[in-house]
Amino acid sequence: QKEVEQNSGPLSVPEGAIASLNCTYSDRGSQSFFWYRQYSGKSPELIMFIYSNGDKEDGRFTAQLNKASQYVSLLIRDSQPSDSATYLCAPSGGSYIPTFGRGTSLIVHP
């Protein structure tokens, strides 16, 4: 089973700043990753998918994957209060057994 580690936070950033969320993993076989956002009381929703080393950008969100160092990160530029949520990372593909990190709570304060 894959192990995925995230700092639970909370990570508190001011509005307009860059929020950096990190995830490390132990299974070198993990080739691609998802990032999910979960608002309080809601279910997780998929926001990003990354499968190759380097950066993938989607609007204010940038996912970064470094397979050599076994970490994946999510940067949120120009953070907004509406970005306040818990962010979960999860590997994709390979084993049927999906493992999610425990998630990092992000608070964006005005």
Partner 1 sequence: DVKVTQSSRYLVKRTGEKVFLECVQDMDHENMFWYRQDPGLGLRLIYFSYDVKMKEKGDIPEGYSVSREKKERFSLILESASTNQTSMYLCASKRSFGANYGYTFGSGTRLTVV
Question: How many residues of this chain interact with partner 1, rule: CB under 8 A?
Answer: 25
Site for partner 1 contains 34 (CB under 8 A): yes
Encoding tokens for residue 64?
A: 């970064």
Dihedral of CA atoms 80, 81, 86, 91 in degrees, nearest 10, equals: -10
* Span interacting with partner 1, options 20-28, 60-68, 69-77, 92-100, rule CB under 8 A: 92-100
> Min. distance of Cβ 21 from partner 1 in angstroms?
14
Closest-CA residue to 11 (of 83, 101, 100, 89): 83
Toward partner 1, which CB reaches closer, 97 or 110? 97
Toward partner 1, which CB reaches closer, 15 or 55? 55
Q: For residues 108 and 16, what is the distance between their CA atoms, to the nearest angstrom?
A: 9
| Stretch 13-32 residues interacting with partner 1 (CB under 8 A) | 31-32
With 0-12 / 13-18 / 19 or more C-beta atoms within 10 angstroms meaning exposed / middle / buried, residue 30 is buried
Site for partner 1 contains 99 (CB under 8 A): yes
Toward partner 1, which CB reaches closer, 17 or 61? 61
